[in-house]
Amino acid sequence: MTYFPEEVVEHIFDFLGSHRDRNAVSTVCKAWYGVERLSRRSVFVGNCYAVRPERVVARFPGVRSLSVKGKPHFADFNLVPDDWGGFALPWIEAFARGGLGLEELRLKRMVVSDESLELLARSFPSFKVLVLISCEGFSTDGLAAIATHCRVLRELDLQENEVEDCGPRWLSCFPDSCTSLVSLNFACLKGEVNAAALERLVARCPNIRTLRLNRAVSVDSLSKILARAPHLVDLGTGSFTIDHHAEAYHRLINNFTKCKSLKSLSGFWDASPRCLPAVYPICGNLTGLNLSYAPAIQGADLIKLIRLCLKLQRLWVLDCIGDKGLAVVASTCKELQELRVFPSDVCGVGTAAVTEEGLVAISSGCPKLNSLLYFCHQMTNAALVTVAKNCPHFTRFRLCILDPGKPDPVTNQPLDEGFGAIVQSCKDLRRLSLSGLLTDQVFLYIGMYAECLEMLSIAFAGDSDKGMVYVLNGCKNLRKLEIRDSPFGDAALLEDVGKYETMRSLWMSSCYVTLKGCKTLAAKMPRLNVEVINERDESDEMEENPSDLRRVEKMYVYRTVAGPRNDAPDFVWML
Amino acid sequence: MGRGPAERQGDRVEMSTTLEKERSLTELEADYEETALTLGLPGGSRAGGWDQQERKRGFSETVHLSDGSSGIEPRGGGDLGDESPDCAASGAGGPRASKARVVGWPPVRSYRKNALRGCTYVKVAVDGAPYLRKVDLEIYSGYHQLLTALQEMFSCFTIRDRRLVDPVKGTDYIPTYEDKDGDWMLVGDVPWKMFVASCKRLRLMNIAPRAPR
């Protein structure tokens, strides 16, 4: 192969789709490394502290698309303090200084400042795609900069970010010459939006296919937008309350009927059941439906809607759908692949929640199901065994029994056998989240059977170090392990220190790991960063000279070639 | 940094769990045993038309708020007497009070929690009063708590039956609310949480003075 000219090798590498494959070929020989690095167009950095931005820029000068992830997953649930880190600015600065022609940037769980958005907007004239997921630190002023300077912007996708509202002017910053938008998602913005500017923007972007509005956009505005963009494929409604007598309602139905390409619906903010019939005309085409922000839609109204969605592949709902509602999903949505049932505890309706019955019904009615997130009040081993048998194709299985450590209510046994059945049956399982009462036994099963498992989330589970060791020994493809409130200590942590270099990261909080264990790990493995996160008061005497035997509240370990990071706040100890 | 939504939620949870401190540990354990039964509907009609599942979430059928108010008994249907003390809790639906305080549990993104929570401040109008007030429905665990709060807010009232009464003027104020469809409804017909999700504003409606008993 080394006799082939470089252009040929490069051409062959073009066929390699995945990052993993490209990473692999780059290690074959120097020549291939050289060809690969110059022809690489897309880089994915799973942990922003695993490598320095400058190094990425130096190695891949031709990169046009960058994806970076910051905070550990448990940051989603307030387990990581706000100032922990994960800053986007160093990455944008490095790419700007390196003179790279960045076109796409995707960031998840990172701190993105307005300053960095401004720099991004000004530094890359060909910039086309910005996707921010679960990020924070910026305001609508940063968005204004993007709108103003990114002349060929195609995608602005803001998913579940905390964005400070500085007024509606950002949307008006898209110049009249901007006609390139294909995807615009600002559903997470809390503030007002200039309706006229929005309608004009949609009208002049003939290629717009994804549009997700925020709560401030009225139904009237939605109607006008649908009239201008009947070729939409993915729509997130704004506020979905109207007086059903009004003309607005009738206009809405008419305009929805014209949207023949609509495949995905979400939003439904403040939706009232009486508005639902407006979407009936397009339900038959829907492959994706997200009703998880509409607590007032439940019972008969919800069921009526679902019965029309014969082609549904992806459904997100609140648990007020109830087991009965799930039975309707099971009998209607034969193409269902992904189901998420969220708890409606905050603003929820107390009439129904879901149990193992709903899940069993889904599993028998929807054989194509491969991705599940299910919050429920109880689960039984029998049900899980049935689910495992009915749906052997799970790649993602996340079960959250709301009461931590709750056993099978029928037998009072732990749920080891149930989850064991899942991992044994689902050979392609890549992601698993456990809950309920669990002993070390479930980890034995996971270690034995979950060969493809890449991410495992454990909470309030296990009896002893053995549990964690089973997992570390058994799961060859494990990349991310996150554990909270489980009795695993130093012995488990230090059992196989080399394992952590084969993984992206390990998170342990409220476990039995001590400072000594962390220090030992850090000393043995220089290419791991071992971070101990302390949130105690300044006055705590522990500050002075913490005993090594003290249990560590939160520990985050990750492999890195960048060495200890220099932006860690005071409460993070880099060991 | 200011207090984030997570901390505020923690406070609300703590408020509701003070109700639970009234019960002894053995009572809680007994309740847990009761709810750890079969897949069939729990026996007994104590909760009436009220959601059977709610029982597993705690104490709705037996908690009497010990604030001295009379006549509030748990009844079937969506009565004012039906309370759900832990409905403000984070969804850890077990009977043990400590569970409700677990940080980051259930594992739901703050964004989602905030998005669903954001709708709970409503205006309260009282017929004849010069200005309105605002209350956050989410901090109350049931109709009785809401009425109590309104009683304190508009200090001329006392609670009698399901109404607020001005004993000086001898007038009744019937609590009504506007729902998401724009209809004016009587407060108390639907389960508390459904009410919280669909209530847009409250109005204490003045009716004719009551005939003397």
Within a domain: residue A470?
no
User: Measured between alpha carbons, how far is A478 from A484 in angstroms, rounded to an integer?
Assistant: 17
Q: Are B158 and A309 in contact (CB under 8 A)?
A: no
Looking at A139-148, A376-385, B11-20, which range is the least confident one? B11-20
> Which amino acid would we find at residue A148?
T
Q: Which of B111, B116, B117 faces A160 most closely, judged by CB atoms?
A: B111
Q: What is the pTM of this model?
A: 0.78
Interface membership of A379 toward B (CB under 8 Å)? no
User: Measured between alpha carbons, how far is B12 from B101 in angstroms, rounded to an integer?
Assistant: 10
The pLDDT > 70 percentage for chain A reads: 96
Report the gap between the CA of A274 and the closest CA in chain B (Å).
Answer: 7
Task: Establish how many alpha carbons lie within 13 A of residue A374's alpha carbon, considering only the half-sphere containing its beta carbon.
Answer: 32
CA distances from A416 to A508, A512, B32 (A): 21, 22, 22
Please report which residue ranges of A431-514 form alpha helices under DSSP H. Answer: 440-449, 465-474, 490-493
Q: Are A45 and A67 in contact (CB under 8 A)?
A: yes
- Tens-place pLDDT, residues A418-454: 999 999 999 999 999 999 999 999 999 999 999 999 9
Report the gap between the CA of A371 and the closest CA in chain B (Å).
Answer: 17
Q: β-pairing, A65-69 with A104-108?
A: parallel
User: Measured between alpha carbons, how far is B137 from B195 in angstroms, rounded to an integer?
Assistant: 9
Candidates A255, A260, A264, A268; CA nearest to A287 is A264
Candidates A347, A255, A340, A339; CA nearest to A297 is A347
Interface membership of A241 toward B (CB under 8 Å)? yes
Report the gap between the CA of A272 and the closest CA in chain B (Å).
Answer: 6
What confidence tier does B162 reach under pLDDT thresholds 50, 70, 90? low
Domain boundaries, chain B: 121-207
Q: Are A246 and A219 in contact (CB under 8 A)?
A: no
pLDDT at A342: 95
Interface membership of A511 toward B (CB under 8 Å)? no
CB contact under 8 A, B91 and A378: no
> What's phi and psi for B114, nearest 5 deg?
-70, -40
B117: chain A residues, CB-CB within 8 Å: 346-347
A377: chain B residues, CB-CB within 8 Å: 53, 56-57, 93
CB interface of A with B, residues 332-351, below 8 Å: 342-351
B1: chain A residues, CB-CB within 8 Å: 82
Mean of pLDDT values over A391-418: 96
CB contact under 8 A, B51 and A342: no
CB contact under 8 A, A347 and B56: no
Residue of A162, A214, A346 to mutate, testing the B interface (most B Cβ within 10 Å of its Cβ): A346
Res. A76: pLDDT tops 80: yes
Please report which residue ranges of chain B form alpha helices under DSSP H. Answer: 5-20, 25-35, 110-117, 143-153, 192-198
Within a domain: residue A8?
yes
User: Measured between alpha carbons, how far is A364 from A334 in angstroms, rounded to an integer?
Assistant: 10
CB pairs under 8 A between A and B: 146
CB contact under 8 A, B197 and A349: yes
Report the gap between the CA of A168 and the closest CA in chain B (Å).
Answer: 19
- CATH dotted code for B121-207: 3.10.20.90
> What's phi and psi for A17, nearest 5 deg?
-80, -45
Within a domain: residue A16?
yes
Looking at A528-532, B48-52, B186-190, which range is the least confident one? B48-52
Mean predicted lDDT score pLDDT of chain A: 92
Within a domain: residue A226?
no
The pLDDT > 90 percentage for chain A reads: 79
pLDDT at B45: 39
pLDDT at A434: 97
pLDDT at A195: 94
Whose structure tokens read 């509701």?
B16
pLDDT at A151: 94
Interface membership of A300 toward B (CB under 8 Å)? no
Report the gap between the CA of B75 and the closest CA in chain A (Å).
Answer: 15
Interface membership of A169 toward B (CB under 8 Å)? no
Query: Three-state SS for B206?
Result: strand
Residue of B55, B105, B140 to mutate, testing the A interface (most A Cβ within 10 Å of its Cβ): B105
Domain residues for the domain of A5 are: 1-40
pLDDT at B133: 86
Mean of pLDDT values over B166-173: 75
Q: β-pairing, B199-207 with B171-179?
A: antiparallel
Q: Which of B103, B115, B193 faces A348 most closely, judged by CB atoms?
A: B193
CB contact under 8 A, B179 and A273: no
Residue of A nearest to B93 (CA): A403
CB contact under 8 A, B84 and A350: yes
Interface membership of A247 toward B (CB under 8 Å)? no
pLDDT at B14: 43
- Tens-place pLDDT, residues B108-131: 998 898 887 655 778 898 888 888
- Tens-place pLDDT, residues A291-317: 999 888 888 899 999 999 999 999 999
Of residues B106 and A315, which shows the higher confidence score? A315
Candidates A68, A53, A54; CA nearest to A19 is A68
Q: Which of A77, A274, A350 faces B191 most closely, judged by CB atoms?
A: A350
Residue of A nearest to B50 (CA): A351
What confidence tier does A246 reach under pLDDT thresholds 50, 70, 90? confident
Report the gap between the CA of B128 and the closest CA in chain A (Å).
Answer: 27
Provide the CA A542 distance to its chain's centre, in angstroms: 36
What confidence tier does A341 reach under pLDDT thresholds 50, 70, 90? very high
User: Measured between alpha carbons, how far is B114 from A172 in angstroms, rounded to an integer?
Assistant: 27
- Tens-place pLDDT, residues A465-523: 999 999 999 999 999 999 999 999 999 999 999 999 999 999 999 999 999 999 999 99
Looking at A346-360, A385-399, A439-453, which range is the least confident one? A346-360
pLDDT at A491: 96
Res. B67: pLDDT tops 80: no
pLDDT at B92: 38
Res. A153: pLDDT tops 90: yes
Whose structure tokens read 């408020």?
B15
- Tens-place pLDDT, residues A31-47: 888 888 888 999 999 99
Whose structure tokens read 């990455």?
A91
CB contact under 8 A, A403 and B92: yes
CB contact under 8 A, B94 and A355: no
CB contact under 8 A, A342 and B108: yes
User: Measured between alpha carbons, how far is A436 from A404 in angstroms, rounded to an integer?
Assistant: 6
- Tens-place pLDDT, residues A536-547: 654 454 555 668
- Tens-place pLDDT, residues A2-31: 577 888 888 888 888 788 888 888 888 888
Residue of B34, B101, B193 to mutate, testing the A interface (most A Cβ within 10 Å of its Cβ): B193
CB contact under 8 A, B117 and A377: no
Report the gap between the CA of A148 and the closest CA in chain B (Å).
Answer: 27
The total of structural domains in chain A comes to: 1
CB contact under 8 A, B51 and A350: yes
CB contact under 8 A, A77 and B105: yes
User: Measured between alpha carbons, how far is A366 from A326 in angstroms, rounded to an integer?
Assistant: 11
Within a domain: residue A131?
no
Candidates A440, A494, A499; CA nearest to A467 is A440
Q: Which two tokens stand for residue A240?
A: 């979905």
Res. A163: pLDDT tops 90: yes
Mean of pLDDT values over B58-75: 35
Q: Which of B53, B104, B196 faces A78 most closely, judged by CB atoms?
A: B104
User: Measured between alpha carbons, how far is A465 from A550 in angstroms, rounded to an integer?
Assistant: 17
Report the gap between the CA of A243 and the closest CA in chain B (Å).
Answer: 6
Looking at A74-88, A130-144, B61-75, B152-166, which range is the least confident one? B61-75
Residue of A345, A381, A510 to mutate, testing the B interface (most B Cβ within 10 Å of its Cβ): A345
What's the CATH number where A30 sits? 1.20.1280.50
Query: In this predicted complex, what is the ipTM?
Result: 0.88
Q: Which of B91, B94, B104 faces A343 most closely, judged by CB atoms?
A: B91
CB contact under 8 A, A296 and B111: no
Report the gap between the CA of A380 and the closest CA in chain B (Å).
Answer: 10
